[in-house]
Amino acid sequence: MHDPVDPKIAEKIDRLRKELHWHNYRYHVLDDPEISDHAYDQKMRELMELEARWPGWNRPDSPSRRVGGPALARFDTVGHSMPMLSLDNGFQESDLIAFDQRIRKLLGLEDQAVYTAEPKVDGVAVELVYEAGRLVSAATRGDGITGELVTSNVRTIRSVPLVMQEDNIRPVPSILEVRGEVFIRRKDFEKLNKDRAGLGLPVFANPRNAAAGSLRQLDPGVTAQRPLDIFIYGIGRVDDVYYESHWECLVALKKLGFKINPDIQPRITIQQAMEYYQYIGKKRHELSYEIDGVVVKVDRLLYQQRLGATSRSPRWAIAFKFEALQETTRILDIEVQVGRTGAITPVAHLAPVNVGGVTVSRATLHNMDEIERKDIRVGDSVFVQRAGDVIPEVVKVITSTRNGTERRFVMPANCPACGSDTVRLKRNDSQEPEATTRCLNISCPAQIKERIKHFASKNAFDIEGMGDKLVKQLVDRGMISSCADIFYLTEDMLAPLGRMGPKSARNIIAAITNRKTISFQRFLYALGIRNVGEHVADVLARAFPGMDRLSAAPHHEIEGIEGIGPVIAESVARFFQQHENREMIDRLMDGGVAILSGSAQKQDTLQGKVFVLTGTLETMSRDAARKRIEALSGKVTGSVSRNTDYLVAGKDAGAKLDRAVQLGVTVINEKAFIDILSRDLP
């Protein structure tokens, strides 16, 4: 037997639970917390201590119980009190128009019908049953008639209320069944898979599979570790309450503590629903969760009732689907590509498949480790996906359909372009090999082509016309073998090439000549030094006055620059030590390339301006901020006076901020500061 609970303590426990339910709702449902995480944790700790001391007062819907519960041997099944139907699909505008016409005919409406449109979230459908405001059970959809009881798992989802919020206007319904979609947000999904890969566990193909797998764990402790979220989109059985419309119902559910999708468009015409579909379709990649369409629903519940349902789906709603971003196809072959740094990347040739409106026939396999981790073989059926403009990739192999004819891929021992041995170098910090296989021959024609293409690309020298085909012709004919050779080309040399002619030849030479003067940053980026992208090139260009100083700088000097780590410093220093690279740079200069050096680029945009820095800046140290102000001829002082032009206030700014406000000095935050720094810069 447990000790009897002192009524005062019981009251305190109840109060803490109520407060924590409230703050949980503010944080996980409304995304608008009222107290700090720290204060929340303290209250939770207090509650857990009291609960441990007074087990007689433990309750399954305590906010402390979201961490799981005993593992099950199997899930019980449960019948839904009202069937959980599926939705009719539409794929084109005419489907939506036909849907609207049928509705108006069945209802005998002369006027426009009113709809609510919602994102169709790609997750797992669940039904949650509340009695007297408390979650008593939760089930998956199953076959629509019976589902699996996953109550302990659903309790671990932070955005599921264990106890409803009381609404002052109406009493909590005695029975309320709500329906919604359990899902995982993209960024949480990526992290989950990354963590799993790190542990050598199989990754999930997509957020929906991850959500389904997580919800169907027999051990709720495992589910509790998964970043599940939920949107409630409707109700099943409800007693004591009557709602006029679907939207009114969602608003009421929100007040009761349920999480409703913020991207819903209520009370619109069918034309507006069409615009919404197009709008959401464009915004699709920016949403934090995956969707596969929009659902358009007749808003008035009386109409919904009158329209009824077929055995499969309601007549009052339609799922207006987008083209899928993930499809299944077969790997026909695997081939390798040589990049500009000699990295050899395996690429899958796929049976062409339409993914989200684009035909995909190739996908990157990244490197040998990835191929082994995903166990990708030639002949496999696979999930491929594309998101926005990124290169399509193979997400997962469907191993169940293998028939034994699949072939493992072996990384070639020789570079397919130049024949030299391929290697996996040791990582700097260990004996482990890098993931990347490389060709180390810097004269490899494949590398040369890629280096030249990079050199001439948009964010580097930006030479129009110097693309894939021309570079291939020039290198294959031995007309150029280094980036510098570009500046020694003449019209006469180009004109006889295939698909050329005097006019194009003239244009290309003009484009080359036009680009001979270049900023230091672009020049550095164009060189294609390993680990030097645009950002690093910018940092280096700001830190060194010009090419002579940078190319002579020892490793430790480069590493001393803020934002430059040892790996970058090493590859920069090594690049300039190499004889061939120095020679190429000399040839570039001889060919007429002129670098706008740091001092020539230096601008005086902050001439005469006095800055004071206070608090912690997020994107740079205060020292770096000072250097950047000084580089633009501004001045930095230690204390605020009437002469101060700007106080840059970072996090936790203190007395200087007060003083600046007192003196009427302009106070700017970090973002405004960065805007000022980048104003008028090339």
Does 234 engage in binding with ligand IVH (CB under 6 A)?
yes
- Round to whole Å and give the CA distance between 544 and 205: 46
Q: Least CB distance from residue 147 to ligand IVH, whole Å?
A: 11
Overall size of the chain counted in residues: 682
Q: Does 475 help bind ligand IVH (rule: CB under 6 A)?
A: no
Among residue numbers 317 through 356, which ones bind ligand IVH (CB under 6 A)?
317, 319
Q: How far is the CB of 180 from ligand IVH (least distance, A)?
A: 8
Handedness of CA 182, 190, 431, 442 (dihedral sign): positive
Kindly state the number of chain residues that form the binding site for ligand IVH, as judged by CB under 6 A: 15
Q: Contact region for ligand IVH (CB under 6 A) — 311-319, 367-375, 571-579, 671-679?
A: 311-319
120 is catalytic: yes
| CA geometry: angle 290, 295, 297, nearest 5 deg | 155
Alpha-carbon distances of 343 from 400, 454, 571, rounded to whole Å: 33, 14, 15
CB of 159 to ligand IVH, least distance (A): 15
When asked if residue 249 is in the footprint of ligand IVH (CB under 6 A), the reply is no
Nearest to ligand IVH of 116, 193 (CB atom): 116
Tell me the residue ranges of DSSP E strands in 68-140: 77-79, 88-90, 115-121, 124-131, 134-140
Options 8, 43, 105, 120, the catalytic residue: 120
| CB-based contacts of 86, cutoff 8 Å, min separation 6 | 144, 312, 313
Residue 253's region, left for phi above 0, alpha for psi from -120 to 50, else beta, is alpha
Per-residue binding letters, 133-152, with ligand IVH (x by CB under 6 A): --------x-----------
The mark string for 262-301 relative to ligand IVH (x by CB under 6 A, - otherwise) is ---------------------------------x------
Nearer to ligand IVH by C-beta: 119 or 346? Answer: 119
253 contacts ligand IVH (rule: CB under 6 A): no
| CA gap 450, 471 in Å, rounded | 9
> Interface with ligand IVH includes 233 (CB under 6 A)?
yes
Q: Which residue minimizes CB distance to ligand IVH?
A: 125
121 makes contact with ligand IVH (CB under 6 A):
yes
What is d(CA 159, CA 25) in angstroms, rounded to the nearest whole number? 7
- Sign of the Cα torsion 472, 474, 476, 480 reads negative
Indicate the residue among 272 and 457 with the shorter CB distance to ligand IVH. 272
Question: Is residue 230 near ligand IVH by the rule CB under 6 A?
Answer: no
Structure tokens, 373: 């981790």
Confirm or reject binding of residue 260 to ligand IVH (CB under 6 A): no
Counting Cα atoms < 13 Å in the Cβ hemisphere of 196 gives 16
Paired residues of 89 in beta bridges: 319
What is the C-alpha separation between 256 and 570, in angstroms, rounded? 59
Which among 658, 623, 628 is positioned nearest to 640, based on CA atoms?
A: 658
**In this chain, which of 87, 573, 612, 676 binds ligand IVH, going by CB under 6 A?**
87
Binding flag, residue 181, ligand IVH (CB under 6 A):
yes
Query: Nearest-5° angle of CA 412, CA 528, CA 524?
Result: 170
Residues 6+ apart with CB under 8 A from 641: 663
Q: Is 120 in the site for ligand IVH (CB under 6 A)?
A: yes
Provide Rg for the chain, Cα atoms. 32
Distance CA 452, CA 185 (A): 40
Interhelix angle for 468-476 vs 445-456, to 10°?
140
Query: Among 82-90, 460-468, 471-479, 555-563, which window interacts with ligand IVH (CB under 6 A)?
Result: 82-90
Number of Cβ atoms within 10 Å of the Cβ of 352: 12
Closest CB 88 distance from ligand IVH, rounded Å: 9
Which amino acid, one-letter code, is at 354?
N
85 counts as binding ligand IVH under rule CB under 6 A: yes
For ligand IVH, the closer CB: 144 or 465: 144
Q: Which part of the chain contacts ligand IVH (CB under 6 A), choosing from 312-320, 327-335, 609-617, 661-669?
A: 312-320
Residue 400 one-letter amino acid: S
Told to check if 208 binds ligand IVH by CB under 6 A, we report: no
Q: How far is the CB of 98 from ligand IVH (least distance, A)?
A: 18
> Of 551-610, which residues contact ligand IVH (CB under 6 A)?
none
Query: What is the set of active-site residues?
Result: 120
Site of interaction with ligand IVH (CB under 6 A): 85-87, 118, 120-121, 125, 141, 181, 233-234, 295, 314, 317, 319
